[in-house]
Homo-oligomer: A and B are copies of this chain.
Amino acid sequence: MTADRPAEAPRSRKPRVDAARNQEAIVEAAARVLAEQGAAVDVREIARLSGVGMGTLYRHFPTKEDLVRTILRREFLTWAASAREAAERAEDPWAALADFFRQALSGYARHRAISECFALAWAEPDVEGLGELRAVIGGLTARAHEAGSLRPDASADDLLLLLVSLGHAARLTGDSDPEQVERLLRVSLDGLRPGHAER
């Protein structure tokens, strides 16, 4: 239908090895669409953008929900991993925390889906992937507490909620004013330092 015979390398068309390629195309398209439009999109739109028929889509993901969950998990994991890596590059516990937030928020801004994922995750906290994020934040929090650079009354769960909270702001503002979210983050980070009245 769109030719592209096995010429150079990647783009051939349908079968066998390319089932994988199709799946990837679906995932890619779905990720993009979900990021932009949220989970309410028409499945057809995803099929169209993937360049596959409905049947193919449903072969790979037996349900719209399956598709959405898969994408969300993937996006979530990628995002969480990149934030974790940012944290790992820093020596100082406090810098690690800050870099983690900065990286996470920059990813958050681009994903309507991640946001929705959290909205679900909060109601249903066993969503895959959330666990790891918690672990990462838990580690960062513990290190920062040990180093005395984080106010004692701030728990890992608080930081997770703060992340979601600022993430929402990041997504709302989008690319219009990246500085603004950065300012908000600085305020929060300053507020997380020890030495404030702890009531």
Contact = CB atoms under 8 A, between A and B. Distances in A.
Interface string A125-138: 00000000000000
Interface in A24-52: none
A187 B181 CA distance: 16
A180 B173 CA distance: 25
A19 interface: no
Contacts of A164: 168-169, 172
Contact of A184 (B161, B180, B186): B161
Given A187-B188, A188-B187, A180 B151 contact: no
A196 B190 CA distance: 7
A118 interface: yes
A155 to B, nearest CB: 8
Contacts of A154: 183, 187
Nearest to A187: B191
